[in-house]
Amino acid sequence: MSAPGLRAKAPGAKPAAEKPAAPRVPGGSQVLHEGDWSTPSTARLGMLKRLREQGIVSEAVFEAMRRIPRERFIDEALWSRAYEDNALPIGFEQTISQPYVVAKMIASILPPTGKLAKVLEVGTGCGYQAAVLSQVADEVYSIERIRGLYDRARNNLRQLRLPNVRLAYGDGYQGLPDAAPFDAIIVAAAAPAIPPALVQQLKRGGKLIIPVGTNSQQLKLVEKRVAGVIESQLDMVRFVPMLNGMVK
């Protein structure tokens, strides 16, 4: 099975040793991935095992997270911690989301087929979740309000050559009207209330997942049905705040 935007390893592909040097953890002892970055390291497989133990059941999510190298989205100094189940700093006072939360949120918006057509992420950060989404959606749009992070995410994603991810620099409270409507919207920062523009930009039958609250936050799932909008409550979570406007 080949995922969009990723080159499947051709039969008889050159052995890893002939490929460009794999990045190493400072100290030189642990190789996080060799050769083809989508080949999972022991650490990445360990993360997947833990996600199963934590109750994630979506095979499409596992496959996507098996392929995306999380270490590529964080600073080298943190590589040895890349597959811990923690949020980690990515600069600009922001964090890369915890793997469990990424898995949980994506699983909650995926249809039974395990495939989405067009999805919007609000809060690109370093681009990790957008990369994971690129494996379960035909088209991924992601919007970030901090220019420095938008640039960083673009560089991170360019290395992986994921042609189905488009990044936008803007305020996620407005959504992305030019690309709307979306089959699903996933918000990676906590808003005080559900932003109406995002609900508006959802297709009928579409799903929006968003952490809501300030001190205490809860994941909310919004489904847009013919009969109206249905809201349900999921896990308690801890996200950075969703803020208004843009930062140059």
CB count within 10 Å of CB 102 equals 24
One character per residue 148-167, x = contact with ligand SAH (rule: CB under 6 A)? -x------------------
Question: Which residue in 20, 19, 120, 140 sits closest to 68, CA to CA?
Answer: 140
Applying CB under 6 A, among 47, 110, 146, 198 the residue interacting with ligand SAH is 146
Rule CB under 6 A: say whether 240 interacts with ligand SAH.
yes
CA atoms 125, 162, 141, 69: torsion sign: negative
Query: Of these residues, 41, 97, 134, 142, which one is catalytic?
Result: 97
| 48 belongs to the binding site for ligand SAH (CB under 6 A) | no
Using rule CB under 6 A, residue 32 touches ligand SAH: no
Residue from the set 119, 189, 198, 209 that interacts with ligand SAH by CB under 6 A: 189
According to CB under 6 A, which one of 35, 40, 172, 175 is a site residue for ligand SAH?
Answer: 172
CA distance 64 to 112: 15
Radius of gyration of the CA atoms of the chain, in A: 18
171 binds ligand SAH (CB under 6 A): yes
CA-angle at 114, arms to 55 and 175, nearest 5°: 95
61 binds ligand SAH, rule: CB under 6 A: no
Per CB under 6 A, the list member of 83, 100, 128, 141 interacting with ligand SAH is 128
Tell me the closest approach of the beta carbon of residue 94 to ligand SAH, in angstroms: 4
Largest CA distance in the chain: 58
Residues sharing a CB contact under 8 Å with residue 240, sequence separation 6 or more, in sequence order: 93, 94, 95, 123, 189, 190
Catalytic, 142? Answer no
User: Would you please indicate which residues are annotated as catalytic (active-site) residues?
Assistant: 97
Residues engaged in binding ligand SAH (CB under 6 A): 94-97, 122-126, 128-129, 143-146, 149, 171-173, 188-189, 240, 242-243
